[in-house]
Amino acid sequence: MSNIISEIKRTILVVEDEVINQEILKEVLSTKYNVEIASNGIEAIQKLTKSITPISLIMLDINMPMMNGIDFLKKLNEKNIKRIPTIVITSEADTELECLKLGAIDFIKRPFELPEVMLARVARLIELFEDRLIINASERDELTHVYNKNVFKEYVKMIEEYNPNDRMDLNVLLVENLQVIHELYGQEKADEVISHIADELKNNVKVYDGIVGKLEDEYFVMFHKHVNDYNELVKRFEISLEKYGVSGINLKLGVYEIDDKTVDIDVRINRAKLSCNQVGKFSHNKYLAFNDISQNNALIYEQLAYDFHNSLMNREFIVYYQPKYNIENKPYICSAEALVRWIHPTLGMVSPKLFIPLFEERGFIRDLDHYVWEEAIKNLAQWKTNNINIVPISLNVSRIDLLDDSIVDILDSITKKYNVDNKYVYLEITESAYNSDINHLVEIITKLKEKGFKIEIDDFGAGYSSLNALTTVPFDVLKLDMLFVKEMYSNDKTLKVIELVSDIAKYLDVILVAEGVETIEQLNQLKKFGYSVIQGYYFSKPLSEKEFVYLLGGKKC
């Protein structure tokens, strides 16, 4: 304790009915402390609620008339004034456990110990408790007594470390319209309401072994075991608020179910908060899960579109590589597909499934693709310089890129800039591209092939124009759409189509690739049908450049 604080004379409340004991304790304690006496529990409660000087410690007898020690402890708990450390004076050991459970922190047995021992013990307990209060104050939000954001984050890390296998959720709750309470009833009532909500949250997350923290404004954050039914949880909050007599408050809950524990905690909080801010905009539900908004939320799209140019400038787009394996004999890496990832500053890694269609719609895709192509070709050049056995890299080409004749010169100038042979660059053109002006497309693809680039038809079988594309567009590789592999065993027809595509590839003498291969059964079946190249989680997920280089270094192609 600091000097100034330790100089203050503290007050001890002795709750004891026997006058002789009152006198002994008063005599010992008053050498160092102010002493207040209460003869039973009821008197003690009155003193505690009315006393202006703060009580630093309570010494409590168990056997008393009117309200005994046990009932007094219970009352303290109920009234939420249990923060005062309490020493129980006892001669019966069997009540000790009950007293401890009710919050007592130590015992003094009768007959009393030596005065110096008792004083030292009391001083130590007060000191410990006050230190704890100081720590608590810096750990906790002043008004609501839940953890502040930094401490909350530390606890999340700790809980995860100790329970690595538990499925957890991180949620953000917004208390809306608190301002209305403030206007109508004043600051004190608004503070009371927010504290009540904090208490309710603490009680509720306890059920799921969780913790609560306070963010800025009227946002709370929670971390607890996975909850299946959030409707039920939100309803429980609302009922408890109604019981409390508060109306007009609106609660919004943003849910982030943690599927990847490597995602930074700030990012998780942002994701949950983003969901929270969208609650009510698209449905009447009181909660929204991040995973759901990423599918169909117009507002997140707006944010992503708004962020695009800055993010491109800040190099937030990173190229990953998913290896493709030749499986004719012993599998080896024969090429890889470049797949873009967006490491968004607040949302973390955003999937291309979310932003590619958006960028196509908004006309940003050209800029992004040119950037990705250059990054990948630059990587190829670096690998070559570092004496790594390079493999061809497939670049995704959006149909919008193909509307522009300059694509041929753009690609050719990038490979020239980095001195990479064009034969190392494959271009994956998704089947839907063949819906547009087919003559123009054939013209551009022919030029690309003349320059030495290889052409892959991506997602073959997914659209309507497959057969048309096969007969008119010159290409080198046919890549079966993932859905066929996924549904390989759902019916006989799918299996037949997969085999038929293999026959077509043989007939046209093109390389045949299957992607989305996750299991050994799928792999064996495809091998049987003559598929020579396989891409999918069975062999590898898309990898960061560093991981991919490591893989390349270890194997020869």
Smallest distance from Ca ion to CB 425, Å = 14
DSSP-derived secondary structure letter, 543 = B
Smallest distance from Ca ion to CB 333, Å = 17
- Residue 416, Cβ neighbours under 10 Å: how many? 12
Which is nearer to ligand C2E, 204 or 540 (by Cβ)? 540
Smallest distance from ligand C2E to CB 275, Å = 21
Which is nearer to Ca ion, 89 or 514 (by Cβ)? 514
Which is nearer to ligand C2E, 358 or 381 (by Cβ)? 358
DSSP string for 377-401: HHHHHHHHHTT-----EEEEE-TTG
Which is nearer to ligand C2E, 169 or 459 (by Cβ)? 459
Judge contact between 1 and 131, C-beta under 8 A: yes
SS (H, E, C) 478-510: EEECHHHHHCCCCCHHHHHHHHHHHHHHHHHCC
Which is nearer to ligand C2E, 69 or 352 (by Cβ)? 352
Residues 18 and 342: their CA atoms lie apart, in Å, by 74
Smallest distance from ligand C2E to CB 348, Å = 14
Judge contact between 39 and 72, C-beta under 8 A: no
Which is nearer to Ca ion, 104 or 513 (by Cβ)? 513
Choose the contact partner of 398 out of ligand C2E, Ca ion, none; CB within 5 to 8 A by kind: ligand C2E
Choose the contact partner of 292 out of ligand C2E, Ca ion, none; CB within 5 to 8 A by kind: none
Smallest distance from Ca ion to CB 532, Å = 17
DSSP-derived secondary structure letter, 451 = T
**Which strands form 250-257's sheet, in the order they lie side by side?**
147-148, 211-214, 219-225, 168-176, 250-257, 287-289
Choose the contact partner of 372 out of Ca ion, ligand C2E, none; CB within 5 to 8 A by kind: ligand C2E
Smallest distance from ligand C2E to CB 125, Å = 59
Tell me how long the chain is. 557
Choose the contact partner of 415 out of Ca ion, ligand C2E, none; CB within 5 to 8 A by kind: none
Q: Is the peptide bond before 111 cis (omega within 30 degrees of 0)?
A: yes
Which is nearer to ligand C2E, 196 or 370 (by Cβ)? 370
Which is nearer to ligand C2E, 253 or 356 (by Cβ)? 356
Residues 69 and 65: their CA atoms lie apart, in Å, by 9
**For the stretch 509-545, what's the b/e string if a residue is b when 16 or more beta carbons lie within 10 angstroms of its beta carbon?**
ebbbbbbbbeeeebbebbeebebbbbbbebbbebbeb
Which is nearer to ligand C2E, 220 or 321 (by Cβ)? 321
Interaction site with Ca ion (CB under 5 A): 396, 428, 458-459
Interaction site with ligand C2E (CB under 6 A): 322, 339-340, 351-353, 356, 365, 369, 372, 396, 398, 458-459, 515-518, 536-537, 542
- Residue 20, Cβ neighbours under 10 Å: how many? 8
Choose the contact partner of 323 out of ligand C2E, Ca ion, none; CB within 5 to 8 A by kind: none
Spatial CB neighbours of 482, under 8 Å, sequence gap ≥ 6: 459, 515, 516
Choose the contact partner of 537 out of ligand C2E, Ca ion, none; CB within 5 to 8 A by kind: ligand C2E
Choose the contact partner of 307 out of Ca ion, ligand C2E, none; CB within 5 to 8 A by kind: none
Which is nearer to ligand C2E, 461 or 536 (by Cβ)? 536
Residues 376 and 387: their CA atoms lie apart, in Å, by 17
Picking from 272, 276, 271, 260, the residue whose alpha carbon sits closest to that of residue 160 is 260
Smallest distance from ligand C2E to CB 516, Å = 4
Q: Which two tokens stand for residue 23?
A: 């006198």
Smallest distance from ligand C2E to CB 352, Å = 4
Smallest distance from ligand C2E to CB 470, Å = 18
Choose the contact partner of 356 out of ligand C2E, Ca ion, none; CB within 5 to 8 A by kind: ligand C2E
Picking from 370, 422, 433, the residue whose alpha carbon sits closest to that of residue 398 is 433
Smallest distance from ligand C2E to CB 328, Å = 20
SS (H, E, C) 234-261: HHHHHHHHHHHCCCCCEEEEEEEECCCC
Choose the contact partner of 456 out of ligand C2E, Ca ion, none; CB within 5 to 8 A by kind: none
Residue at shortest CB range from Ca ion: 428
Q: Which two tokens stand for residue 277?
A: 């801010």
Spatial CB neighbours of 113, under 8 Å, sequence gap ≥ 6: 121
Which is nearer to ligand C2E, 254 or 542 (by Cβ)? 542
Choose the contact partner of 518 out of ligand C2E, Ca ion, none; CB within 5 to 8 A by kind: ligand C2E
- Element (DSSP H or E) covering residue 192: helix 187-207
Which is nearer to ligand C2E, 210 or 352 (by Cβ)? 352
Choose the contact partner of 469 out of ligand C2E, Ca ion, none; CB within 5 to 8 A by kind: none
Smallest distance from ligand C2E to CB 369, Å = 5
C-alpha of 385 from chain center: 39
Smallest distance from Ca ion to CB 362, Å = 21
